[in-house]
C-alpha cells in the first residue's frame, strides 16, 4: 500500500509505502485497544453509574425467570394475607358471639348494639396525598388487628365470667316473693305480740293467704331443715350459701326433705296455721350468719 503526502507549503509530495504485515499489525493493535479502553472506563467509573444490565433494561429485556419469581413471590404473599384474613374472620365471629351473650346477660337486645355491623366513620378528605399500602404494611396491620381482637375477647370473657357469677349470686339471694298475691299482716321489727299483748320483736314477715296456698322458695339452695318445730309448726329452712338462710313457717304440708336441692320459685310447702299461729299465713324469715335480717331488704318490698 502506497500513501502519498502533499505539502502545500513546500509544493512537494512524499510517498510512504506500508506493507501487508504492517497493516495487520495496526489492525491487531486497534482490536486490542478497544476492549482495553472499555475495561478502563468500567473499572474507573463508580459502580452506581454503570450496570451491565442497563443495556438490557434499556432494551426492555429482563433476566430469564425474573417474571416467574416475582409472580411466585406475589402469590405467596397473597396466600399468607388470605390466611390471616380468614383467621381474623373467625376471631370476629367469636367476638360477635360473646357480645351477644353479654348483651342478653345485661338485658340488651343484640340488634340494639349493632353487633356484627360496620360502625359509622367519616371525615374530610385530607390535603396530604394518599398512599398505597405495601404488602409488608398490610401484614403488619393484620397482625396488630389480630392482637387487638384477642385482647378484646379476653377482656369480654372476663366480664362475662363476672356477670355470670353475679347472676348466680342473685339467684342465691332470697329475693323472689314466697307466696303469690299475698299481703303481709306483720312486718319485721317490734310489734304487739298477738298472744301476750306485750311488745315483742317479730323476726320476719307474715304473709296472709288461704290454707293450701303454694309456698315457693325465695331463692335456689339446699334444704337444711324440713320438719316440725314447737313454735314455727311445719317449717322449712333453705341454705343459699354465704351463711344466708331463708325460713318458711306454719305450713300445713311440707313438699321437700332435708338434702333436697331446690331452684328459685320451686314449690316447697303449702300455707297453714301450725305452731304458734292465730290463722292461716306464711311466716317468712331471712338469716345471715344466724342473725335475723329484715326480709323486705331482700324482697324489695315495703318493710
pTM above 0.75? Answer: no
- Stretch 138-161: mean pLDDT, rounded? 78
Least confident range from 43-47, 82-86, 148-152, 255-259: namely 43-47
Residue-range domain boundaries for the chain: 2-58, 70-109+134-171, 183-299
For residues 83 and 187, give the distance between their C-alpha atoms in angstroms, rounded to a whole number: 67
Q: What is the pLDDT of residue 55?
A: 46
What's the confidence (pLDDT) of residue 14? 57
Tell me which of 59 and 96 has the higher pLDDT.
96
Topology of the domain comprising 183-299: Glucose Permease (Domain IIA) (2.70.70)
**What kind and span of H or E run contains 145?**
helix 135-171
**pLDDT at residue 54 in the model:** 47
Spatial neighbors of 303 by CB under 8 A, at least 6 apart, are 187, 188, 189, 294, 296, 297
CA atoms lying within 13 Å on the CB side of residue 5: 7
Mean pLDDT to the nearest integer, 116-144: 74
Could you read off the pLDDT of 247-257 as tens digits, one per residue?
999 999 999 99
Sign of CA dihedral 163, 164, 170, 173: negative
Task: Give the pLDDT confidence score for residue 145 in this predicted structure.
Answer: 79
Lowest average pLDDT, out of 40-54, 69-83, 204-218, goes to 40-54
* pLDDT tens column, 60-100: 455 666 777 777 777 777 777 777 777 777 777 777 777 77
Rounded distance, CA 243 to CA 224, Å? Answer: 12
The answer to whether residues 269 and 262 touch, using CB atoms and an 8 Å cutoff, is: no
Kindly report which listed range (111-120, 150-159, 182-191) carries the lowest average pLDDT score: 111-120
Rounded to whole angstroms, what are the CA distances from 50 to 37, 44, 47, 61, 190?
Answer: 15, 10, 5, 17, 107
Nearest to 182 by CA among 250, 233, 130, 243: 250
Q: What is the mean pLDDT of residues 139-145?
A: 80
User: Taking each helix axis from N to C terminus, what angle separates 135-171 and 66-105, rounded to the nearest 10 degrees?
Assistant: 20
**pLDDT for res 57:** 45
- Is the model's pLDDT at 259 over the cut of 90? yes
Mean pLDDT of the chain: 78
- Terminal-to-terminal C-alpha distance of the chain: 139
Identify each DSSP E strand in the chain by its residue range.
2-7, 12-17, 183-186, 189-192, 199-202, 205-208, 214-216, 221-229, 233-239, 244-254, 261-262, 267-271, 281-288, 291-293
Q: How confident is the model at residue 144 (pLDDT cuts 50, 70, 90)?
A: confident
Alpha-carbon distance 206 to 41, whole Å? 113
Per-residue pLDDT at 193 exceeds 60: yes
Average pLDDT over residues 47-60: 46
Q: Rounded to the nearest 5°, which phi and psi values hold at 227?
A: 180, -165
Mean pLDDT of 135-161: 77
Which candidate, 212, 284, 209, 208, places its Cα nearest to that of 255? 212
Residue 58 has pLDDT above 50, yes or no: no
| CA 66-72-76 angle, 5° bins | 145
Amino acid at each position: 500500500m502506497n500513501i502519498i503526502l502533499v505539502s502545500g507549503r513546500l509544493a512537494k509530495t512524499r510517498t510512504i509505502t506500508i506493507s501487508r504485515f504492517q497493516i495487520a499489525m495496526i489492525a491487531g493493535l486497534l482490536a486490542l485497544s478497544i476492549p482495553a479502553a472499555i475495561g478502563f472506563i468500567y473499572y474507573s467509573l463508580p459502580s452506581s453509574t454503570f450496570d451491565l444490565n442497563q443495556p438490557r433494561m434499556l432494551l426492555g429485556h429482563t433476566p430469564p425467570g425474573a417474571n416467574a419469581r416475582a409472580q411466585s413471590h406475589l402469590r405467596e404473599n397473597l396466600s399468607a394475607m388470605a390466611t390471616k384474613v380468614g383467621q381474623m374472620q373467625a376471631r370476629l365471629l367469636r367476638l360477635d358471639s360473646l357480645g351477644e351473650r353479654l348483651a342478653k346477660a345485661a338485658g340488651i337486645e343484640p340488634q340494639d348494639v349493632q353487633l356484627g355491623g360496620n360502625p359509622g366513620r367519616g371525615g374530610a378528605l385530607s390535603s396530604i396525598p394518599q398512599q398505597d399500602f405495601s404488602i409488608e404494611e398490610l401484614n403488619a396491620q393484620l397482625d396488630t388487628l389480630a392482637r387487638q381482637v384477642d385482647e378484646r375477647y379476653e377482656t369480654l370473657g372476663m366480664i362475662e365470667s363476672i356477670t355470670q357469677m353475679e347472676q348466680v349470686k342473685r339467684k342465691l339471694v332470697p329475693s323472689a316473693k314466697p307466696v303469690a298475691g299475698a299481703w303481709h299482716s306483720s312486718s319485721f321489727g317490734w310489734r304487739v305480740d298477738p298472744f301476750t299483748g306485750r311488745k315483742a320483736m317479730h323476726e320476719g314477715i307474715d304473709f296472709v293467704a288461704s290454707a293450701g296456698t303454694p309456698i315457693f322458695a325465695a331463692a335456689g339452695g339446699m334444704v337444711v331443715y324440713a320438719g316440725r318445730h314447737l313454735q314455727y309448726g311445719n317449717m322449712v329452712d333453705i341454705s343459699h350459701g354465704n351463711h344466708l338462710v331463708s325460713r318458711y313457717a306454719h305450713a300445713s304440708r311440707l313438699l321437700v326433705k332435708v338434702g333436697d336441692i331446690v331452684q328459685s320459685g320451686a314449690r316447697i310447702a303449702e300455707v297453714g296455721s301450725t305452731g304458734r299461729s292465730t290463722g292461716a299465713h306464711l311466716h317468712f324469715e331471712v338469716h345471715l350468719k344466724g342473725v335475723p335480717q329484715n326480709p323486705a331488704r331482700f324482697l324489695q318490698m315495703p318493710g
